């Protein structure tokens, strides 16, 4: 009598055969808890009022995002980092709309880093944050304000800019600190045409000078090239240029003493097919005025660069992305009682200079981390 495969499988489970097979292929270290990865969870909770509430879902409280992170050395050759993000659906990413309070799960990052490459070279393989500018590679809990600047949201995306491929890093032999990163990725994320098989390529040159013991100046340039999501299937490309300048000062004489961070970043997309000269920028200042308190100010712009707001003839079905001239002004105060939690109160004013539509929002946001979360890069 023939035994159906499903029955056989059930019998195997009941007899414990899989466990036996697993034990035979396991190693001693595989059973040791000391080899567990560092695990952490970060949560963002937001309360918001919007005067205009343009999408109808902006008022109220919501779980703004959850990030689950695993980091561990794999073996003498690789170190791995996995970051699973859950956040309300983003309609612009082709996700289900957020009206049903549904959450979308993303592997925000999942990569391995080479640990023993010759010549101090770095190699990262997997899905990783693309090094384009200062803000785009940030996880949501690292944002200096509750939302991404309009220029980043309009041209790149409003959460971490990550994609799958490979990235190489080399330290440039100059008297100051400089590194060059070059990458090739699939182009599965905004602003790229995910159905186009052409790879996205890009690079970033970072220069950083220690101005004094307490202050640094960073001047960096970024570039990428890939298929344009606004023209799916048409093999049109976009070149994206970015430049950013950051000055940081942190008093070294006192623990949690005064600190001042200033950043200016500009992004210029150059679409193979498209009207206007789109560009945008933001600038922000953060000041630690008390041991546990920061104040922040920011302004920004994302301009489609069109002379007037109208459909491009023959391309009515296309998603043109940004079409107006958005401005933003933000102010916030953040209370940071420990390294693992913060509470933020923020006021934001948005205006579209073309349509003259505007909105005023008040936001409160709680940010907390549990578990073994690594410090962030400088």
Partner 1 sequence: MLNINSNRSAGRAATVRMCVFAALIVLSLTVSGQAVAKVKVVATLADLAWIAEQVGGDDVEVSFLCKGHRDPHFLPAKPSLARKLKKADLLVYNGLELEIGWLPLLLDAARNPRIRPGQQGELNCALALGEGEILEVPVGEVDRSQGDIHPLGNPHYLLDPRKGIAVGRLMADRLARIDPAAADRYRSRAEHLAREIESRMEDWEAQVDSLAVKKVIVYHQHWEYLVEWLGLEILGVIENRPGISPAPRHVEGLIELGRLQGPVLVIAATWDHIEAAGRVAEKTGSALVVLPGSTYATEEAAGYLDMFEVICGKLETAEETAEETGAEGGS
Structure tokens at 196: 């186009």
Exposure string for 264-294, b = 16+ CB within 10 A, e = fewer: bbbbbbebeebbbebbbbbbbbbebeeeeeb
Residue 79 or 92: the one with the smaller Cβ distance to partner 1 is 79
Residue 100 binding partner 1, by CB under 8 A = no
**Residues with Cβ < 8 Å from 41, sequence gap 6 or more?**
66, 67, 68, 69, 369, 370, 371
Q: Is 25 in the site for partner 1 (CB under 8 A)?
A: no
- Span from 6-14, 185-193, 247-255, 303-311 in contact with partner 1 (CB under 8 A): 247-255
Two structure tokens written together for 133: 């500018």
| Residue whose pair of structure tokens reads 């990783």 in the numeric block | 128
User: Using CA of residue 115, residue 120, residue 125, residue 129, what is the dihedral sign?
Assistant: positive
Confirm or reject binding of residue 253 to partner 1 (CB under 8 A).
Answer: yes
Decide: is 121 part of the binding site for partner 1 (CB under 8 A): yes
The distance of closest approach from Cβ of residue 136 to partner 1 in the complex, given in angstroms and rounded to an integer, is 19
Give least dist CB 372 to partner 1, A.
9
Binding track over 196-215 against partner 1, x by CB under 8 A: ----------x-x-x--x--
Task: Check residue 116 for interaction with partner 1 (CB under 8 A).
Answer: yes
The backbone region for 157, taken as left when phi is positive above 0, alpha when psi lies in -120 to 50, beta otherwise, is left
**120 is a contact residue toward partner 1 (CB under 8 A):** yes
Burial (CB count within 10 angstroms: exposed 0-12, middle 13-18, buried 19+), residue 238: buried
Q: Distance between alpha carbon 161 and the CA centroid of its chain, in Å?
A: 5
Binding test (CB under 8 A) with partner 1, winner from 255, 307, 317, 356: 255
Using rule CB under 8 A, residue 343 touches partner 1: no
Residue 338 binds to partner 1 (criterion: CB under 8 A): yes
Give me the residues that bind partner 1 (CB under 8 A), please.
73, 79, 113, 115-117, 120-122, 169, 171, 176-177, 179, 206, 208, 210, 213, 216, 248, 250, 252-256, 291-292, 337-340, 370, 374-375, 377-378
């Amino acid at each position: 009598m023939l035994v159906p495969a499903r029955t056989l499988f059930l019998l195997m489970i009941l007899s414990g055969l899989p466990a036996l097979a697993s034990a035979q292929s396991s190693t001693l270290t595989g059973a040791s808890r000391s080899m567990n990865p560092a695990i952490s969870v970060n949560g963002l909770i937001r309360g918001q009022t919007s005067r205009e509430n343009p999408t109808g879902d902006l008022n109220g409280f919501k779980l703004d995002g959850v990030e689950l992170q695993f980091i561990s050395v794999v073996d003498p050759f690789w170190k791995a980092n996995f970051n699973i993000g859950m956040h309300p659906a983003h309609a612009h990413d082709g996700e289900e709309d957020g009206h049903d309070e549904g959450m979308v799960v993303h592997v925000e990052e999942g990569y391995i880093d080479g640990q023993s490459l010759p010549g101090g070279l770095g190699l990262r393989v997997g899905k990783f944050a693309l090094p384009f500018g200062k803000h785009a590679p940030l996880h949501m809990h690292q944002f200096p304000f509750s939302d991404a600047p309009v220029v980043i949201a309009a041209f790149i995306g409003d959460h971490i800019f990550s994609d799958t491929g490979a990235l190489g890093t080399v330290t440039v032999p100059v008297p100051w600190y400089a590194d060059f990163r070059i990458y090739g990725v699939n182009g599965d994320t905004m602003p790229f045409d995910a159905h186009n098989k052409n790879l996205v390529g890009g690079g970033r040159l970072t220069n950083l000078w220690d101005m004094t013991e307490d202050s640094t100046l960073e001047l960096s340039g970024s570039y990428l090239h890939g298929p344009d999501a606004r023209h799916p299937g048409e093999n049109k490309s976009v070149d994206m240029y970015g430049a950013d300048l950051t000055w940081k000062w942190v008093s070294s004489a006192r623990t949690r003493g005064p600190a001042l961070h200033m950043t200016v970043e500009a992004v210029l997309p150059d679409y193979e097919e498209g009207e206007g000269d789109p560009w945008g920028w933001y600038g922000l200042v953060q000041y630690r005025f008390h041991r546990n308190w920061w104040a922040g100010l920011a302004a920004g712009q994302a301009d489609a660069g069109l002379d007037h707001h109208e459909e491009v003839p023959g391309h009515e079905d296309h998603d043109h992305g940004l079409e107006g001239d958005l401005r933003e002004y933000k102010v916030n105060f953040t209370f940071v009682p420990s390294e693992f939690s913060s509470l933020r109160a923020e006021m934001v004013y948005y205006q579209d200079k073309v349509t003259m539509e505007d909105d005023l929002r008040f936001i409160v946001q709680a940010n907390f981390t549990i578990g073994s979360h690594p410090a962030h890069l400088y």
